[in-house]
Amino acid sequence: MRALTYHGAHSVKVDTVADPILVDSDDIILRVTATAICGSDLHLYRGKIPAVEHGDIFGHEFMGIVEETGSAVTAVQPGDRVVIPFVIACGSCFFCQMDLFAACETTNTGRGAILNKKAIAPGAALFGFSHLYGGIPGGQAEYVRVPKANTGPFKVPGTLSDEKVLFLSDILPTAFQAVTNTGIGKGSSIAIYGAGPVGLLSAACARMLGADQIFMVDHHPYRLAYAQQTYGVIPINFDEDDDPADTIIRQTRGMRGVDGVVDAVGFEAKGSTTETVLATLKLEGSSGKALRQCIAAVRRGGVVSVPGVYAGFIHGFLFGDAFDKGLTFKMGQTHVQRYLPELLGHIETGRLSPEVIISHRMSLEQAAEGYKLFDKKQEDCRKVILTPGSPHVALPEGDVPNGAMALT
Domains and CATH numbers, the chain: 2-169+335-406 (3.90.180.10), 171-331 (3.40.50.720)
Whole-angstrom Cα distance, residue 42 to residue 383?
Answer: 12
Query: What is the percentage of the chain residues whose pLDDT exceeds 90?
Result: 83
Mean pLDDT over all residues of the chain?
91
Tell me the average pLDDT across 117-131: 95
Higher pLDDT, 280 or 127: 127
| Cα torsion 270, 274, 280, 285: sign | negative
The pLDDT of residue 392: 52
Provide the terminal-to-terminal Cα distance of the chain, rounded to the nearest Å: 21
Q: Is the pLDDT of residue 105 over 80?
A: yes
The pLDDT of residue 133: 96
Higher pLDDT, 115 or 365: 365
Q: Is the pLDDT of residue 43 over 70?
A: yes
pTM, entire model: 0.92
Q: How confident is the model at residue 287 (pLDDT cuts 50, 70, 90)?
A: low
The pLDDT of residue 275: 37
Whole-angstrom Cα distance, residue 255 to residue 365?
Answer: 51
Higher pLDDT, 180 or 116: 180
Q: Is the pLDDT of residue 166 over 50?
A: yes
Tell me the average pLDDT across 348-352: 97
The pLDDT of residue 286: 56
Are the CB atoms for 26 and 71 separated by under 8 Å? no
Q: Is the pLDDT of residue 42 over 80?
A: yes
Q: Is the pLDDT of residue 363 over 60?
A: yes
Strand 298-306 relative to strand 2-6, pairing: unpaired
Whole-angstrom Cα distance, residue 352 to residue 345?
Answer: 9
Tell me the average pLDDT across 363-379: 96
Find the Cα–Cα–Cα–Cα dihedral 254, 205, 330, 43, rounded to 10°.
-120
Three-state secondary structure call for residue 43: helix
Whole-angstrom Cα distance, residue 281 to residue 81?
Answer: 47
Strand 87-88 relative to strand 125-126, pairing: antiparallel
Q: Lowest mean pLDDT: which of 74-88, 254-268, 361-375?
A: 254-268
Query: What is the percentage of the chain residues whose pLDDT exceeds 70?
Result: 90
Whole-angstrom Cα distance, residue 381 to residue 387?
Answer: 17
Q: Is the pLDDT of residue 297 over 90?
A: yes
The pLDDT of residue 22: 98
Among 149, 170, 135, 153, CA closest to 57:
135
pLDDT tens sequence across 197-237: 999 999 999 999 999 999 999 999 999 999 999 999 999 99
Whole-angstrom Cα distance, residue 284 to residue 264?
Answer: 20
The pLDDT of residue 391: 60
Are the CB atoms for 197 and 38 separated by under 8 Å? yes
The pLDDT of residue 197: 95
